[in-house]
Structure 1
Amino acid sequence: MASNITNVFVLMLENRSFDNLLGFSGITGTDAVTGQPTAVDGLTGKESNSYNGVAYTVSQPADQTLPVDPGHEFADVVEQLCGHGASYTSGGSYPAIDNSGFVANFADSTSDDEGKAPVQDLAMIMRCYAPSQLPILNTLAREFAVCDRWFSSLPGPTWPNRFFAHAASSDGLDASPTDEQMAKWDTFSGVKFKNGTIFQALSAKPNGGDFGWRLYGYEALTTITAALAGVNFSDVNSLDKLAKDLQGNYPWLYTFIEPNYGNVRAGSYTGGTSQHPMDGVTGGETLIKQVYEAIRNSPLWETSLLIITWDEHGGFYDHVAPPAAVAPGDTLPKTKPSDTGPEFGLNVNGFTFEQYGVRVPAVVVSPLIPKNTVDHRVYDHSSIPATLEAVYGLKPLTKRDAAANNVLSLLSLSTPRTDTPATLPQPAEFGNIVTNAPAPVAPPADAPMPASQVGFVQLHAMHDLQTSPPAEHPAILARVSSLQTVGDAKQYMQEVQAKAGAAPTAPTAS
């Protein structure tokens, strides 16, 4: 019940499909709508993709890490969902989806010009974790509600999907931000959205003010939410302080939590808690445990709601075809080179945003949710602002969140449960138990800067410009525009990090 909720928390991790983490979970429970016995839409073990005449079937268990980062840019996802060689026509309808191209795209996208060696074991993109490998996630999914129709907001990468969680829009961004798009960003005040963000809406709420929202992350310079207008680097609070903060006076209505993305400066992603494929899942399991136990053992527990989800699928196989979506309506698709006005936002692929992306895991936690609830209703990341709007009486930001389901009907109990676990199991410790593959390494310094690194460069540039005298700005902008390789980006980000006195996200890769 919305009137019973005083604090909403969201933890968003990285790059995992539903099948990759929960496809073999075997969870059964009660249907959230009908009240009848049901099971999650998981794997039978017969699902497969074919490539070069070879069938690659889903299997369990999975290795801790992958040696490379699977493709998950816009064009990659078109192939993964629609088949090898499929493409999207700017401004047009999304091609027919059959989820047949994950292996083929993995083969292509991991032997490109970014210094990656061809992957010999193509089956790794089809391997999924056994429940025993993810005891924390599986425990929460059984103790509370698991949503098996929560889709990423668009068939593309991290940055635009995370924007949807904050604005029910990506301002037209349909790929990882490019150098050209970076130049369009307002470097001093952050990425603006036509209708604002949920943070701005909460700040404008009567009696909201400074208590509307709070942000936790590992390091300000690598916290993606800090790229938004209305959010400052100084707003990023250390995750290490979360449990202690929740024991005291905690007036913030909404708390968004970002993981440690690992060594993004070197492009290895190691040493983090985001569950990036090159970093593994155990760190993320530890983070989920930390966040849950901090809330569960706080005075806020009985009136709190926690949503745990993942920004996008990271290239991993999922067998469920995502459905059509409602376009946010705040930008237009760019269909020709002359479409350059602000009404087109950051759009480069001409995507209309009328298609959801690949399914991701989502678990909804509250003592007002009956144990072992399974929800088959459709959600996407705009369900986060939709839920906040329902709880706190806010207007929708776009047509997407206006049409989105919120999760409040899951909170069907009139009194909080007394049987929720105060602590969760310890994370499972395992390595690359299937392939014995070596741990991933950072790409060579002379490799072209990957799309996934550009956004983090922009975050550093924003901080650099905001904290430097105006006379230095032309040189900073020229420096950023000249960055071409992984080594260039790493050196610049480390220099900004040193100027800011920020702690490193991980040991510097050689």
Structure 2
Amino acid sequence: MNKFNYDGSPQSVVAMIDPSGNEDHFLRPCFDHPTLSDLLDAKGVSWKYYSPAAGDLWVGPDAISHIRFGADWAKVSIPNTNIFNDIATGTLPGVSWVIPTGPSSDHALGTDGTGPSWVASIVNAIGNSQYWNSTAIFITWDDWGGWYDHVKPTQYNSYELSFRVPMIVISPFVKAAYVSHVQHEFGSILHFTEEQFGLASLGYTDARADDLADCFNFNRAALPFQTIPAPMRGADFLRRPQSSAPVDTDF
């Protein structure tokens, strides 16, 4: 597997797209800027980033210098199946990022069909645990479903927004069977988290984006969890060898 970010070589670069759509500039994905994890640390809220493998393209914290080379790197939990043990032992942090392997990612031309089972196994583990009544789960993808969208994206600058991607919100306090017609962004998940934990704002897209309030009703009793039927369970993923297949290398 190719290594990226701070675990990669100087030749491990990504293409940058200019306002005209040209990919003629490359850089190493190595940065150092504030992240949601910094806000969580400042408030004393626990967090973990459950990842398939160190140095992988999808290991976001590996691109942030003060995380990769600081104490917070211990909060990057490898492999991603560690989340099942943390749920079972009552040590799940306040905020979790859970990243799939390439084959379980639903990524076009790179999936083996286990993605829905992977998601269901985590949701079922949380839903049947002590955490259900105080949890919101956001499931989303980094690519759109059909490589096309009939709705023109809102443009704030030369780079955003883009085609819509799906998002599923699971919680005992969601509006059941509700389809949102509000414009949300990835920053909306940040905004929601900041509000729920009383965090400061990063002042980026989180400040502009909505807080997903239309998806919830916190003024009623928690809904009971209903187990999601799926071909594979968490135990199957625990027994499954971790994939080293490259992920999302279509740049």
Q: TM-score, normalised by structure 2?
A: 0.75
Q: Which residue of 1 aligns with 2:52?
A: 218
Query: 2:180 aligned with 1:404, yes or no?
Result: no
The alpha-carbon distance between structure 1 residues 251 and 88, as it changes in their structure 2 partners (threshold 3 A), is closer
1:426 aligns with 2:239: no
2:191–2:211 contact (8 Å) kept in structure 1? yes
- Who is 1:139 aligned against? none
Structure 1 residues 314 and 421: alpha-carbon distance in aligned structure 2, compared to 1, 3 A threshold: closer
Q: Which residue of 2 aligns with 1:21?
A: none
The DSSP-based 3-state class of the residue aligned with 1:388 is helix
Q: CA deviation at 1:176?
A: 11
Q: Does 1:228 align with 2:64?
A: yes
Q: Which residue of 2 aligns with 1:366?
A: 171
2:235 maps to 1:395: no
Is the contact made by 2:16 and 2:25 (CA closer than 8 Å) also made in structure 1?
no
**Alignment partners' CA distance in 2, 1:504 and 1:426:** 19
TM-score (norm 1): 0.39
Please tell me whether the aligned partners of residues 50 and 81 of structure 2 are also in contact (alpha carbons under 8 angstroms): no
**Whole-angstrom CA distance in 2 between matches of 1:292 and 1:176:** 41
1:504 shift after superposition: 5.5
Of residues 404, 410, 415, the one that matches 2:221 is 415
CA contact (8 A) 2:141 2:165 kept: yes
Question: Can you list the C-alpha shifts for 1:221-266, whole angstroms capped at 9, x where unaligned?
Answer: 21421222343355233222322211223252210011112xxxxx
5 Å-filtered alignment, 1:479-490, equals: none
Which residues in structure 2 correspond to 1:261-300 (within 5 Å)?
261=102, 272-280=103-111, 282-300=113-131
Q: Aligned partners of 2:228, 2:184: CA distance in 1, in Å?
A: 28
The residue number in structure 2 matching 1:202 is 40
Kindly name which structure, 1 or 2, has the bigger radius of gyration based on alpha carbons: 1
Q: Distance in 2 between matches of 1:176 and 1:239?
A: 34
Quote the Cα distance in structure 2 between the aligned partners of 1:407 and 1:275. 24
Partner residue of 1:254 out of 92, 95, 100: 95
Note closer, same or farther for the CA distance 1:230–1:284 as it changes in structure 2 (3 Å cut): farther
The 2-side partners of 1:315 and 1:256 are apart by 25
Q: How many residues align?
A: 216
Cα gap change, 1:245 to 1:251, in 2 (>3 Å): closer
Q: What CA distance in whole angstroms lies between the structure 1 residues aligned with 2:210 and 2:150?
A: 22
In proportion to residue count, which structure has more helix? 1
Q: Report the CA distance shift for 1:305/1:323 in structure 2 as closer, same or farther (over 3 A).
A: same
Distance in 2 (CA, whole Å) between partners of 1:229 and 1:324 is 30
Q: Is the 8 A contact 2:174 2:215 kept in 1?
A: yes
Give the counterpart of 2:83 among 227, 235, 242.
Answer: 242
1:252 and 1:318, CA in 2 relative to 1: closer, same or farther beyond 3 A?
Answer: same
* Equivalent AA in structure 2 for residue 253 of structure 1: G
C-alpha distance in structure 1 between counterparts of 2:195 and 2:110, whole Å: 36
Q: 1:277 to 1:383 in 2, by over 3 A?
A: same
Cα distance in 2, alignment partners of residues 177 and 302 from structure 1 = 47
| 2:11 aligned partner | none
Unaligned runs of 5+ in 2: 1-14, 233-241, 247-251
2:152–2:163 CA contact under 8 A, matched in 1: yes
Counterpart for residue 6 of structure 2? none
How far apart, in 2, do the equivalents of 1:175 and 1:248 lie?
A: 47
Equivalent residue letter for 1:220: A
Structure with bigger RCO (C-alpha 8 Å, 6+ apart) = 1
Q: 1:16 matched to which residue of 2? A: none
Provide Cα deviations, 1:353-398, integer angstroms capped at 9, x if missing partner. Answer: 4x30110000111011132011100111111211111111112212
The answer (yes or no) to whether the contact 1:200–1:230 under 8 Å persists in 2 is: no
Match of 1:215, SS state, is strand
Which runs of 5 or more residues in structure 1 are unaligned? 1-72, 76-86, 91-173, 186-190, 262-271, 328-350, 428-502
Q: Which runs of 4+ in 1 moved over 4 A?
A: 87-90, 174-177
In 2, distance between residues paired with 1:373 and 1:240?
30
User: CA contact under 8 A between 1:302 and 1:367: conserved in structure 2?
Assistant: yes
Paired letter, 1:401? D
Deviations 1:204-224 (A, max 9, x none): 11x33xx2x111111122142
Contact 1:247–1:299, Cα closer than 8 Å, also in 2: no
Residue 138 (structure 2) aligned to one of 275, 285, 307: 307
CA gap 1:364/1:394 in 2 versus in 1, 3 angstroms: same
Change in Cα spacing, 1:230 to 1:391, as seen in structure 2 (3 Å) is: farther
Shift of the alpha carbon at 1:74?
7.3
